[in-house]
Amino acid sequence: MDNSKQVKEAFEQAQAEAKAVREAKAIQQQNEARQVEAARNNKLEIKCSSCSGEYLLSKKNIARRGTAVKGVIQIGVVCPHCEHFAHSYFETPAMQKAQGQIYRTKFVWERSRNERAWKKLKAAQKKKQIAHDRAQARFAYLLPDAESSEEDENPLPATHNPEA
Ligand SMILES: [Zn+2]
């Protein structure tokens, strides 16, 4: 292999690494922006669609409950006044599995910072998103009509994920 080819390859490798680092930084900035948004949401007063009572959204208002389908969990917000449960999203074993894969690939990425690890993390995140979207469509029938038709009832941001 001649010298110029080696130099070119080394340069391309360095460029790929720099790109991966830039993308990781962009993701970090996005996550921080999301956290700020969540903090702001926490200060917002939520108005219960059932009793019209108002309360501040916080982690303690977020609840998980089982459904008629084995393994499928409903995540939602519980009104502290009347205990009305407002649905946010469904969680399935496939989503939990995909989340586990995100943890593992993220762990590898944070230590290696190479492109291969980066791609695996991105693939795991995409898999989780697909599993999430699929589950919401698949189990929508579990929601009572009154609840699914009131779109403004869901006070959690669409990206809300307490495990992320
Ligand atoms: Zn209420």
Q: Does the residue 140 lie in any domain? A: no
Model pLDDT, residue 161: 52
Ligand 1 centroid – CA 10 distance (Å): 62
pLDDT digits (tens, 9 = 90+) for 19-65: 888 888 788 777 766 666 665 655 667 889 999 999 888 888 999 99
The residue range of the domain holding 19 is 1-42
Domain count, the chain: 1
DSSP one-letter code for 84: P
Q: Does the residue 63 lie in any domain? A: no
Ligand 1 centroid – CA 49 distance (Å): 7
pLDDT digits (tens, 9 = 90+) for 64-117: 999 999 999 999 999 999 999 999 899 999 999 999 999 999 999 999 999 999
Ligand 1 centroid – CA 55 distance (Å): 9
pTM (global) more than 0.75 = no
Q: Does the residue 67 lie in any domain? A: no
Q: Does the residue 90 lie in any domain? A: no
- Residue 16: helix, strand or coil by DSSP? helix
Ligand 1 centroid – CA 38 distance (Å): 22
Q: Does the residue 15 lie in any domain? A: yes
Q: Does the residue 149 lie in any domain? A: no
Nearest to 49 by CA among 90, 85, 89: 85
